[in-house]
């Protein structure tokens, strides 16, 4: 068999991490959607809260596995903080200007597609035919779930913000995989630095809006604490998965969150078009099965 068309077996532990992360991701996005009017202040609050909540976990991780201190450590954290901050703000703006059922699936769908492309070009990864078909199935299923609801300017805005968000997702995906892979930075330390960095960069904006901070905290404190607790856990699981499987397979597989999120939207938010979303969910699941079966 042509070696350029094969891929090693995907580690089951990586799939377990990704599946758990998908559940966490869907849950925190449900709460973030309910706090959509919070804007950048909401992002600042949950970033600061995450840095505080995970400080003891980070310190324990550093004591148990001391990192190799160099200028690359803070530099890598700074880059990921900038990328994640841009992602958070653009996504939040997209939710304000367009429908979540367009913005979120497009963002999550284009992100892994670009991540696979970047991984092939930058890392020299060569996913096998089954892996490529699985990744394509995940992306296709997400597009089926997300498109077809809005019209006019909301559709245009949703598609635009969704695609920009997808580019940012692909960018931080490839950067973060390099940081926890070749650079061997602890995923817990790395994500904590990301949250701290976002909080510090947004602080000048947020602290000039004290009334807005009080309003968002009063109305959405539960959402702030849920996102602050669950979002880092979800992404730390993904960062660990990058150590057990290549980016070109992990990035699409984590989009199981779209399937779970669609069920939440249908059952809890009473969003319409269940038939189309179930069809898309089935395509996503088939894609993930293909990813799991990818082998050499």
Tokens found for residue 150: 């809005």
Q: State the chain's mean pLDDT as an integer.
A: 82
Contacts of 36 (CB under 8 A, 6+ apart): 92, 95, 96
Is residue 260 over pLDDT 50? yes
pLDDT higher than threshold 80 for residue 156: no
Give pLDDT tens digits for 216-254.
999 999 999 999 999 999 988 988 888 777 776 776 777
Alpha-carbon distance of 225 to 231, in angstroms, equals 10
Residue 27, C-beta contacts closer than 8 angstroms, at least 6 positions apart = 226, 230, 264
CA distances (Å), 266 to each of 15, 94, 101, 107, 262, in order?
26, 20, 11, 19, 6
* Token reading at 49: 């809260």
Range of the domain at 13: 3-293
Q: 57 is written with which tokens?
A: 């976990």
pLDDT digits (tens, 9 = 90+) for 95-153: 778 777 777 777 777 766 676 677 777 767 776 787 778 778 877 877 777 665 555 67
Per-residue pLDDT at 34: 85
Query: Closest by alpha carbon to 228, among 27, 91, 82?
Result: 27
Q: Counting every residue, how long is the chain?
A: 296
Pair of tokens at residue 107: 């963002």
- Domain count along the chain: 1
């Amino acid at each position: 068999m042509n070696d350029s068309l094969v891929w090693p077996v995907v580690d089951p532990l990586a799939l377990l991490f990704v599946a758990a992360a998908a559940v966490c991701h869907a849950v925190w996005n449900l709460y973030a959607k309910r706090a959509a009017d919070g804007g950048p202040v909401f992002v600042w609050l949950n970033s600061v809260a995450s840095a505080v909540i995970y400080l003891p976990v980070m310190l324990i991780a550093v004591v148990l596995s001391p990192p190799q201190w160099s200028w690359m450590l803070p530099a890598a954290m700074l880059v990921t903080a900038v990328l994640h901050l841009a992602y958070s703000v653009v996504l939040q703006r997209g939710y304000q200007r367009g429908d979540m059922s367009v913005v979120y699936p497009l963002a999550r769908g284009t992100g892994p597609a670009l991540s696979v492309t970047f991984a092939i070009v930058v890392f020299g990864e060569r996913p096998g035919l089954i892996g490529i078909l699985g990744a394509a199935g995940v992306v296709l299923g997400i597009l089926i779930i997300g498109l077809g609801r809005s019209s006019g300017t909301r559709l245009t805005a949703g598609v635009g913000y969704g695609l920009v968000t997808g580019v940012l997702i692909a960018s931080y995906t490839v950067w973060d995989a390099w940081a926890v892979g070749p650079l061997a930075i602890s995923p817990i330390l790395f994500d904590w630095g990301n949250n701290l960095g976002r909080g510090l960069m947004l602080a000048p904006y947020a602290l000039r809006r004290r009334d807005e901070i009080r309003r968002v905290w009063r109305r959405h404190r539960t959402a702030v604490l849920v996102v602050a607790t669950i979002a880092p856990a979800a992404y730390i699981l993904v960062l660990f998965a990058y150590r057990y499987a290549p980016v070109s397979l992990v990035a699409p597989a984590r989009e199981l969150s779209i399937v779970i999120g669609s069920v939440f939207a249908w059952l809890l938010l009473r969003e319409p078009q269940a038939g189309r979303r179930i069809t898309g969910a089935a395509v996503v699941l088939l894609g993930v099965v293909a990813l799991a079966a990818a082998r050499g």
